[in-house]
Amino acid sequence: MRKHEIVRGLLLSPPLQGGVPLPNDDVIGLCRRSGGMLSPVITVEPTAKEVKTAVKLAEENRKEVKAFKVRLGYVKAAAQSPVFNRLYDYAESRGLPVLFHTGDTAFSTGNLSLSHPLNLDGLANKREELIIILCHFGNPWFEDVAELIYKHPNVYADISGLIMDGAYAEKYAEWLSKKISEAIYFAAGAQKVMFGTDYPVTKHSETLALVNRLDVDERDKEKILRHNAERVFRL
């Protein structure tokens, strides 16, 4: 991170095939060892017990925890499932964002009907005070995400986990930059778009290169790289 002049970041555990995410206590512990560079995001599983535990952990570490994460498409629950009501109530009361996995899943067993970004439209309608962040820009449903961030004052998107290797890696990167740039045009600016990596899936250098590719002005790039996250996560 220091190599790329990144001064602050969020840490959360990815979905692991055949396993479970790293325990949230361990994520918090790793952040404490980072010297203030990293802040924890608590991953929340869709059971009443797990939601209660996540809220309790956030309250006990309220000076450090910056957000929650729901792994839509990897868990058997929709964004509007009543099991998350306690989580959303707490997040609203504290102004903490909730990140949602949206779009393509890393495994073929993922459920795209649950991770499609338009599933968040109903939640945003019901909970106008809940800060909703669509991870991975809903890839490949960029236009749907463009509409969501334009329509809802409380909905944002990040550009994490988008760059992948392959025979058409360069063409794919061009396609991504075009889609994200067009979404920014539709939303009338980049005030709802945030930098992210999903490291080690995507390296910091790769996402920085993606931002550099965007056909938007430098002020919007600064919003993506820094200002939006500072405001939304209160960094």
Predicted confidence at residue 16, as pLDDT, reads 55
Phi then psi for 44, rounded to 5 degrees? -120, 125
Predicted confidence at residue 22, as pLDDT, reads 80
> 233: which strand partners?
none
For the stretch 104-118, pLDDT in tens is 998 898 999 999 999
Instruction: Work out the pLDDT band at 203, boundaries 50, 70, 90.
Output: confident
Instruction: Work out the pLDDT band at 18, boundaries 50, 70, 90.
Output: low
Predicted confidence at residue 4, as pLDDT, reads 61
> 2-233, which class in CATH?
alpha beta
Predicted confidence at residue 7, as pLDDT, reads 74
Which residues lie closer than 8 Å to 221 by C-beta, 6 or more apart? 190, 211, 212, 214
pLDDT at residue 1 is higher than 80: no
Q: Cα angle vertex 103, ends 101, 105, to 5°?
A: 80
For the stretch 125-146, pLDDT in tens is 999 999 999 999 999 999 999 9
For the stretch 24-79, pLDDT in tens is 999 999 999 988 889 999 999 999 999 999 999 999 999 999 999 999 999 999 99
Q: With a threshold of 0.85, does the pTM exceed it? A: yes
Domain ranges of the chain: 2-233
For the stretch 153-196, pLDDT in tens is 999 999 999 988 888 999 999 999 999 999 999 999 999 999 99
Instruction: Work out the pLDDT band at 6, boundaries 50, 70, 90.
Output: confident
Sheet containing strand 193-194, edge to edge, reads: 9-11, 38-44, 67-70, 98-101, 132-135, 155-158, 193-194
Give residue for tokens 């952990």.
57
